[in-house]
Chain A
Amino acid sequence: EVQLVESGGGLVQPGGSLRLSCAASGFTFRNYAMSWVRQAPGKGLEWVSAITGSGSSTYYADSVKGRFTISRDNSKNTLYLQVSSLRAEDTAKYYCAKLVYFEWVDPSNWFDPWGQGTLVTVSS
């Protein structure tokens, strides 16, 4: 069974940083692109970032470009998201999700499954 377990969220002051982790199991991690999607309280889904199976290519939403860094350790089956220069509007539950292909950019790619999410709250 494919499992994705996020961790690392918490309360952080504006301008602060956190590193989110997503531990994957039940599939050959290095063969699939992975992504982070967030959901602000009471709001909809927003794609944040993605990385190819090898980790050689990364992608970001304009809203987080230059502040967030996605990475992966295929030897540890773990996906990361370093979130920095945090703002109040970054407050959200952050989900990691597995894609169905190695590459990210593919119109026939989709998110399945999703983890349970980790909550990041940015407040002073």
Chain B
Amino acid sequence: SYVLTQPPSVSVSPGQTASITCSGDKLGDKYTYWYQQKAGQSPVLVIFQESRRPSGIPERFSGSNSGNTATLTISGTQAMDEADYYCQAWDSRTVVFGGGTKLTVL
């Protein structure tokens, strides 16, 4: 079965850029999606179809995808961005989620 691999944790200082990666075989050939889940809350879509932002999601969130790695980038990270982030893709007619990355804003 298809596997998406994320680093368990990423730390960033306020105002700096955070990059969260998601790796999978030929992932660049697939659409990727990113969800943010703050403590005690439900997941929220922050990036769809690799790099598009839903309305209401700040411009500091961006996405890219090439080769075997998709990346969620948060520019000018704020304390409110501290959360778990999950990548998602499709493979063989089913959905796969990455294991999640805990973003800590120090």
A residues with CB within 8 A of B: 35, 37, 44-47, 50, 59, 61, 95, 105-117
Interface size bucket, B side? 20 to 34
Q: Choose among A59, A95, A107 the residue that contacts B43 (Cβ–Cβ < 8 A).
A: A95
* B residues less than 8 Å from A46 (CB atoms): 97
B90→A47 contact, CB < 8 A: no
Q: Which secondary structure dominates chain B's binding surface? A: strand
Question: Complex Cα distance A50/B97, Å?
Answer: 15
A108→B43 contact, CB < 8 A: no
Q: Choose among B30, B45, B99 the residue that contacts A110 (Cβ–Cβ < 8 A).
A: B45
A45→B31 contact, CB < 8 A: no
A111→B45 contact, CB < 8 A: yes
For residue B100, CB closer than 8 A to chain A, the reply is yes
A105 with B93, Cβ < 8 A, contacts A111-B45, A112-B45, A113-B44 known: yes
A9 to chain B, nearest CB (A): 14
For residue B49, CB closer than 8 A to chain A, the reply is yes
Q: Choose among A45, A113, A115, A117 the residue that contacts B97 (Cβ–Cβ < 8 A).
A: A45
**Contacts of B36-82 to chain A: CB distance below 8 A:** 42-45, 48-49, 54
Offer 7 A-B interface pairs, CB within 8 angstroms, sorted by A: A44-B86, A44-B99, A111-B33, A112-B45, A112-B48, A113-B44, A114-B43
A27 to chain B, nearest CB (A): 15
* B residues less than 8 Å from A47 (CB atoms): 94-97
A107, closest chain B residue (CB) = B90
* A residues less than 8 Å from B33 (CB atoms): 110-111
* A residues less than 8 Å from B54 (CB atoms): 112
Question: Complex Cα distance A112/B33, Å?
Answer: 11
B43→A111 contact, CB < 8 A: yes
* B residues less than 8 Å from A105 (CB atoms): 90, 93
Question: Complex Cα distance A35/B95, Å?
Answer: 11
- Most-contacted residue by chain A among B33, B43, B45, B100 (CB, 10 A): B43
Q: Choose among A59, A95, A107, A111 the residue that contacts B31 (Cβ–Cβ < 8 A).
A: A107
Which 7 pairs show the lowest CB-CB distances between chains A and B? Answer: A44-B100, A114-B42, A112-B45, A107-B90, A47-B95, A45-B97, A110-B33
